Chain A
Amino acid sequence: MSIKNRKIGKLILLIVIIVAVFILGLLASRIMERRAEAVFAYSPSGDISKFEPRNEVWGKDFPREYESYYNTADTNFLSKYNGNGMIDMLEVDPRLVVLWAGYGFSKDYSQGRGHFYAVVDIRNNLRTGGPTGDDDGPMPTTCWACKSPDVPRVMNESGIANFYKGKWARLGYEIYNPIGCADCHNSETMQLQISRHALIEAYERMGKDITKATHQEMRSLVCAQCHVEYYFNENIVEGSQYLTFPWDKGFTAEAMEEYYDNLQFSDWTHKLSRAPMLKAQHPGYEVYMTGVHADRGVACADCHMPYKSDGGVKYTDHHIQSPLNNIANSCQVCHREETSKLISNVYERQDKIIQNRDKLEELLVRAHVEAKFAWDKGATEEQMKDILIGIRHAQWRWDYAAASHGGSFHSPVEIGRVISTGITIVQETRIILARLLADLGHNKKIEYPDITTKAKAQEFIGMDVEKLKKEKEEFKQNLMPIWDKKAEERENSWTKKNP
């Protein structure tokens, strides 16, 4: 081979290698491009800051979840006993007024509307009164704790214990956005997370670590941040009405009752019977955990926020609502029965539970009225002691059943059991009461009061509702616009990356 040919051969080989390197480089660059897509294609834009309370800001990245969340503004669904509209429960069942005499719930108690109304409804409710300034009003700041994604933001700024200090009105301008995204989601990964410390602390006291919860457990635990029984503990930090879950001994009515008895805690003293009462808030999660669905590993979200398909996209329906309004996506995923059949199965349980609940309610009204009669007849503290404890325990059981919305479906056997123990206790108590009244010289039936309407019942316990309504109107005209203005100013001052 001539030298010239060899040189040309080398040159061609060089060019081939150069072209191969070039093409390999292109290939590498394409692979990198496609790998880089993975980082962006399935993750949010990352513009949501850690304590972003505005649901609309999250909604820009997650339009489907946000828009379905917005459906919680709907108030048109009515089931047999509840639904998503506002129902004046004191009107439906005026006996509640007597059972809660001396306590805020006798002023105003309605079936709650969707999460969308959380802030509006607590402002309008007569229980929160008509504050005229920061330090005025009947309720503590703790009442805001479940109402808004502004809560974790303010807790982060001021500290948890400080959040619970002072009157409800103190934080009126801070709590602005209704329950939403930041209450359950991590702003960076969108994973479910616990934003309320009361639940984390309750878990710690039970010796459990909530960070070890599985994803499926989290799909119930985010609900358990609020839909649980709680009380305000004044002994943890001075001046702080510290939100606490009474779970140390267990979830059952008896376990929590024992917890409260050991603390000698009472929410209020009954106006008629003077019994040291407990108010069950809404032990929805606790009752649910005793039911068969929980036993099979079904989470709250499985029925209340089932998957849905829209335009070829499958996602979690954030219209949190009664499954009775969405049988197809909730019940029928597992149960192959007709819609009407499934609904009648639910109503049957509710009907049967409410029979005994109604009876227990009537007996409790009688017990309160009879106890008042005994006091009026000159009964002593010593004579009344066991009676008052009986009333306390019986009404606690009634409330545990009544306040856990959905309890008669979530766990009909447990709720049936709790109500039956309540009936036993209140009747045992009324036997002691009857003997005491006989000793005091009264051996006749005591008439059941005329409490057929809310107005009559409120008059019976001596409440001036018109005054409460007037105070509320003044609050809505004077203080509320200031709160809204301050809140808007604050949010307008935030740049994209704030708060």
Chain B
Amino acid sequence: MKEDNKIHDKFPLIFFIFIGIFLGLFFYVIYISKAHSYLSDNSETCVNCHIMAPQYASWNHSSHREVANCNDCHVPHDNFVNKYYFKGKDGIRHASIFTARMEPQVIMIRDEGKQVVHNNCIRCHENQIIDAKLSAYVPQHHKNFEDRHCWDCHREVPHGRVNSLTSMPHAKVPLPESPLPEWLRNNKSKNNNN
């Protein structure tokens, strides 16, 4: 009894209540921001922010859909640490800008990201680049790829050339749906029908 009183004396009940609220809200934020999904490599994760819908839709209509997800191109794959360091850094930047509503009308890739994507082009297409036949077909190829990025010439790969936020209205994209659990949504619509 005496011990309890001591703790109670040190931290009154109101602290526990507020700490409880804090923790509850913290988990709620994790849940509604789908924070856990960022550990995966699913391309669906990238449209957690709906402004990425045009990028998702153009990728989903491209041949790369069959072989590469967003992370295959947009995060480095040289080593495990670097991958998650870059992913975390980029992800937090994106999430902050989106949450603060600071996104530009046209999203452009930054220099750091360009380097990552360029290296990833080479990672998969290495054999095509050093292919002797290609040098014969496209005489300038070897010279050209030393001073520019792949997509400076292969401009449609894979997102196309039109890339404003409004470039693909009504595109079919797996955007996050209502965070309410099914039973609660059903309950709501039942009430509406009544």
- Across-interface contacts of A64 in B (CB, < 8 A): 169
B22 touches A21 (CB 8 A): yes
Q: In residues 66-82 of chain B, which contact A (Cβ within 8 Å)? A: none
B171 touches A42 (CB 8 A): yes
B14, B25, B166, most chain A CB atoms within 10 A: B25
> Which secondary structure dominates where chain B touches chain A?
loop
- Across-interface contacts of B11 in A (CB, < 8 A): 10
- B33 proximal to A (CB < 8 A): yes
A35 touches B176 (CB 8 A): yes
With beta carbons under 8 angstroms apart, the residue of A20, A41, A42, A312 that contacts B22 is A20
A314 touches B18 (CB 8 A): no
Interface with B: A26-34, A257-265, A430-438, A449-457, which one? A26-34
For A44-83 the 0/1 string (1 means CB < 8 A from B) is 1000000000000000001010000000000000000000
- A12 proximal to B (CB < 8 A): no
- A18 proximal to B (CB < 8 A): yes
**Cα-based distance from A42 to B50 in the complex (angstroms):** 9
**Which of chain B's residues has its CB closest to A40's CB?**
B50
CB distance from B154 to the nearest CB of A (A): 15
- Across-interface contacts of B176 in A (CB, < 8 A): 35, 38
B175 touches A312 (CB 8 A): no
B18 touches A312 (CB 8 A): no
A42 touches B169 (CB 8 A): yes
**Cα-based distance from A43 to B101 in the complex (angstroms):** 20
With beta carbons under 8 angstroms apart, the residue of A27, A39, A313 that contacts B168 is A313
With beta carbons under 8 angstroms apart, the residue of A14, A37, A39 that contacts B177 is A39
With beta carbons under 8 angstroms apart, the residue of B14, B25, B53, B164 that contacts A28 is B25
With beta carbons under 8 angstroms apart, the residue of B21, B99, B170 that contacts A27 is B99
Q: Which of under 10, 10 to 19, 20 to 34, or 35 or more describes the interface residues of B?
A: 35 or more
Q: In residues 154-194 of chain B, which contact A (Cβ within 8 Å)? A: 160, 162, 164, 166-173, 175-179
With beta carbons under 8 angstroms apart, the residue of B50, B53, B168, B173 that contacts A34 is B50
**Which of chain B's residues has its CB closest to A20's CB?**
B22
- Across-interface contacts of B116 in A (CB, < 8 A): none
For A1-36 the 0/1 string (1 means CB < 8 A from B) is 000000000100110011011001101101110110
**Cα-based distance from A64 to B177 in the complex (angstroms):** 26
- Across-interface contacts of B145 in A (CB, < 8 A): none
B15 touches A30 (CB 8 A): no
**Cα-based distance from A315 to B58 in the complex (angstroms):** 11
Q: In residues 112-170 of chain B, which contact A (Cβ within 8 Å)? A: 160, 162, 164, 166-170
B15 touches A315 (CB 8 A): no
Q: Which of under 10, 10 to 19, 20 to 34, or 35 or more describes the interface residues of A?
A: 20 to 34
- A237 proximal to B (CB < 8 A): no
Given contacts A42-B169, A190-B170, contact A24 B49 (CB under 8 A): no
CB distance from B90 to the nearest CB of A (A): 18
- Across-interface contacts of A477 in B (CB, < 8 A): none
**Cα-based distance from A190 to B169 in the complex (angstroms):** 12
**Cα-based distance from A211 to B2 in the complex (angstroms):** 72
A14 touches B32 (CB 8 A): no
- B92 proximal to A (CB < 8 A): no
- B85 proximal to A (CB < 8 A): no
B167 touches A25 (CB 8 A): no
B14 touches A14 (CB 8 A): yes
A17 touches B18 (CB 8 A): yes
What 6 A-B pairs have minimum CB-CB distances, sorted nearest first?
A38-B50, A38-B175, A17-B18, A24-B25, A312-B164, A28-B29
Interface pairs (25), CB distance under 8 Å = A10-B15, A17-B18, A21-B21, A27-B99, A28-B29, A30-B101, A31-B33, A32-B179, A34-B98, A34-B99, A35-B32, A35-B176, A39-B175, A39-B178, A42-B50, A42-B169, A42-B170, A190-B170, A191-B172, A312-B162, A312-B166, A313-B162, A314-B162, A314-B168, A315-B169
Which residues of B are at the interface with A, using a C-beta cutoff of 8 A? 11-12, 14-15, 18-19, 21-22, 25-26, 28-29, 32-33, 49-50, 53, 98-99, 101, 160, 162, 164, 166-173, 175-179
5 more contacts with CB within 8 A, not counting A14-B18, A42-B173, A312-B167, are: A17-B15, A32-B179, A34-B49, A42-B170, A312-B164
